[in-house]
Structure 1
């Protein structure tokens, strides 16, 4: 197989059949840095959870999966022409969306009611796209009008519709299992027929914010089943890292690695209802 690309988490290879082998590593990234050490089992958890979600979204949008890969962290998939936009849906206000709202009263040009706080549920889910940055660079929020300029009006409408439909299905299933899906990011591309197709990963702890439903309290940061735990540690005095200085982040302590692994495992097992088999 021929190596094509390595991203923050995934490595991509071309098979002899002209298909793609996508391998999810145990790498973890935060604040546009790939961190050390890796999180054990993370790649397999992401791959297996994505496959579970692809099955439950099959009536919403087609996906790129051809078959399972040779191990639990890989999948064989169709090549796609990826769209040049990161598709994000938000049902709750937090993170970068909260920062935009506090500054402008809107997120990606979508006006929101006054008085919202960290963790507020939005009146309805919103499409908040970003640019698609290279590894080490930062995705920047853009308006829907900018998406139209980049990909055309019909494609922009389709991206928004599919992203929100995926979010709503994920939020519905998550709620049945005691998990709030606060927001999610998806990747879409076109297959050889020009059909918009779901790719990469979907509704995982890397691409989404998952909160325990019974602990949701607007007005503060929420407990989570995703890599927010790592972001919080890096931003805390305990890490000793000054992000504004521009240097590389420190290595993750063993307890942070293990607690992060446990959060990924709990997200998988809560959502699928089965123990993670590795």
Structure 2
């Protein structure tokens, strides 16, 4: 059954407050354990990455075993690689045993209502906009670019965060200035491009192309600093391609849930994306191939195996 209400674990000291397509959030409850958590860590949330997988605005069944561990562990690894560029929201990975490996305790941030996207290659919604206007979010690009083309330099192409269930809307930099003011807008752009630049170099050295990535920032209420939050540089928030298969002119193979999307839109699934019926359950081979792809992304980027 797709689009089912997720089952969330009961965790001593924590109260479940939110479930998204992939993540579940908890805050310390009013028990003795919860009060102790607040005393020790302050205003924090427990962020759990589930094995749920979504596509085309539907949560699918079954999930991808181990996906939540990959997302969490890869985010933690990237937070370490970026620590000298920008602070992040992670407080500790000392979490309840039931969610060990897939959860982190994080500072609660005042989130900026902007999706901060950096693109080094042209694909996805950026390609669609370029084909119509020759621009991406108002940035003029050279003529003759194709799907997968490397851009002359990385660009900041923000999006306005949409309401739950809606799609984010690509916007010009001037719209970000209107939302958050010029100083914060410039800082968001600079941090996003700095993170992309560091990560693109790290990935390239490991035989992986980082085509684009989406970051989320919030203000730390204690320090007032812009702080990197949510997940970072995972296959769910970024496009990673095998460098030895990069070939501009068509869609690239990617380290993400492409197997899921391809199956859903194939005749084999029997699913009408334009209809009202949720997608059918995923076949086991699609689940297994997707799991392998997420694991390969982690192992290629970090250079170490991940036990699931």
TM-score of the superposition, structure 2-length normalised? 0.87
Work out the CA distance in 2 between the residues paired with 1:188 and 1:79. 11
Tell me by how many angstroms 1:194 deviates: 1.3
| Structure 2 residue aligned with 1:43 | 68
Work out the CA distance in 2 between the residues paired with 1:228 and 1:130. 22
Which has the larger displacement, 6-15 or 204-213? Answer: 6-15
| Secondary structure, counterpart of 1:3 in structure 2 | strand
| Secondary structure, counterpart of 1:72 in structure 2 | coil
Work out the CA distance in 2 between the residues paired with 1:236 and 1:96. 21
**CA contact under 8 A between 1:33 and 1:136: conserved in structure 2?**
no
1:10 aligns with 2:23: yes
CA deviation profile, 1:137-166 (whole Å, cap 9, x unmatched): 211111111111111111111111111111
| Structure 2 residue aligned with 1:277 | 307
Tell me by how many angstroms 1:30 deviates: 1.7
The one of 65, 83, 86 aligned to 1:61: 86
| Structure 1 residue aligned with 2:197 | 168
Work out the CA distance in 2 between the residues paired with 1:228 and 1:158. 33
Which has the larger displacement, 58-67 or 136-145? Answer: 136-145
- For residues 259-278 of structure 1, the aligned pairs below 5 Å read 259-278=289-308
| Secondary structure, counterpart of 2:92 in structure 1 | strand
| Structure 1 residue aligned with 2:242 | 212
| Secondary structure, counterpart of 1:214 in structure 2 | helix
CA deviation profile, 1:48-104 (whole Å, cap 9, x unmatched): 010000000001110001110330000011110000011111111111111111111
Work out the CA distance in 1 between the residues paired with 2:115 and 2:122. 18
| Structure 2 residue aligned with 1:238 | 268
| Secondary structure, counterpart of 2:187 in structure 1 | helix
Work out the CA distance in 2 between the residues paired with 1:201 and 1:118. 26
**CA contact under 8 A between 1:32 and 1:138: conserved in structure 2?**
no
Work out the CA distance in 2 between the residues paired with 1:225 and 1:121. 18
Tell me by how many angstroms 1:9 deviates: 0.9
| Secondary structure, counterpart of 1:203 in structure 2 | coil
Work out the CA distance in 1 between the residues paired with 2:269 and 2:171. 32
Tell me by how many angstroms 1:234 deviates: 2.2
Query: Judging changes above 3 Å, is the alpha-carbon distance between structure 1 residues 159 and 219 closer, same or farther for their aligned structure 2 residues?
Result: same
Tell me by how many angstroms 1:36 deviates: 1.6
**CA contact under 8 A between 1:85 and 1:147: conserved in structure 2?**
yes
| Structure 2 residue aligned with 1:180 | 209
1:158 aligns with 2:194: no
Work out the CA distance in 1 between the residues paired with 2:118 and 2:84. 19
CA deviation profile, 1:209-250 (whole Å, cap 9, x unmatched): 110000000001111111233223223333332323354223
Tell me by how many angstroms 1:29 deviates: 1.4
| Secondary structure, counterpart of 2:159 in structure 1 | coil
Query: Judging changes above 3 Å, is the alpha-carbon distance between structure 1 residues 100 and 236 closer, same or farther for their aligned structure 2 residues?
Result: farther
Work out the CA distance in 1 between the residues paired with 2:136 and 2:271. 29
TM-score of the superposition, structure 1-length normalised? 0.96
Tell me by how many angstroms 1:259 deviates: 0.5
| Secondary structure, counterpart of 1:126 in structure 2 | strand
Structure 1 unaligned runs (5+)? none
1:103 aligns with 2:132: yes
Higher-Rg structure is: 2
Q: CA RMSD of the aligned region, Å?
A: 1.3
Structure 2 unaligned runs (5+)? 1-13, 29-33
Query: Judging changes above 3 Å, is the alpha-carbon distance between structure 1 residues 103 and 241 closer, same or farther for their aligned structure 2 residues?
Result: farther
| Secondary structure, counterpart of 2:64 in structure 1 | coil
